[in-house]
Amino acid sequence: MSDLAPSTPTAGQRILLVEDSDVVRMLTVEVLEELDYCVIEAGEAQQALQILRSDEHIDLLMTDIGLPGMSGQELAVAARQLRPDLKVLYASGYAESIEIDKSEPASRTSIIGKPFSLDALRDKVQSMLDS
């Protein structure tokens, strides 16, 4: 078992990761898979929306805020039209200056600053999926 292993089971929990940077996406996928999450990757918002329109089970949408063409926040709005109960974790290098919808419960919408530590990512994802 890995040192990164979470304290609660994650088997079957699926994360849709939307990140336009290939390197950041690859590293994040590697960490999340090390934590035993099933990760579906998308390099841009339109690809993510195609996945969200499918029958694919998704527990959490993790999206970069600064996506080209459609921001992560715009993606989340569109995603919630398709899947109203979807939990959304935003990732941003400017997390402290990002306004997220305060009407959303913290258990459904959160933000993590980039660069994030492995522990911070594990804890944030786990807390959102456990709530």
Measured in whole angstroms, the distance separating CA 66 from the mean position of its chain's CA atoms is 13
Tens digit of each residue's pLDDT (9 = 90 or more) over 42-84: 999 999 999 999 999 999 999 999 899 999 999 999 999 999 9
C-alpha count within 13 angstroms, C-beta hemisphere, residue 54: 11
Residue 9 lies in a domain: no
pLDDT band, residue 26 (cuts 50/70/90): very high
pLDDT of residue 85: 93
Range of the domain at 46: 14-98+105-130
List CB contacts of 93: < 8 A, sequence separation 6 or more.
66, 113, 114, 115
Residue 83 lies in a domain: yes
pLDDT of residue 54: 96
Average pLDDT, whole number, for the chain? 86
Q: What is the count of structural domains for the chain?
A: 1
Domain of 20: which CATH number? 3.40.50.2300
Cα Rg of the chain, angstroms: 13
When comparing pLDDT for 107 and 62, which is higher?
62
Residue 110 clears pLDDT 70, i.e. is over it: yes
Task: Label the pairing between strands 60-64 and 87-92.
Answer: parallel
The residue count of the chain comes to 131
Residue 5 clears pLDDT 80, i.e. is over it: no
Residue 125 lies in a domain: yes
Residue 125 clears pLDDT 80, i.e. is over it: yes
Highest mean pLDDT among 24-28, 96-100, 109-113: 24-28
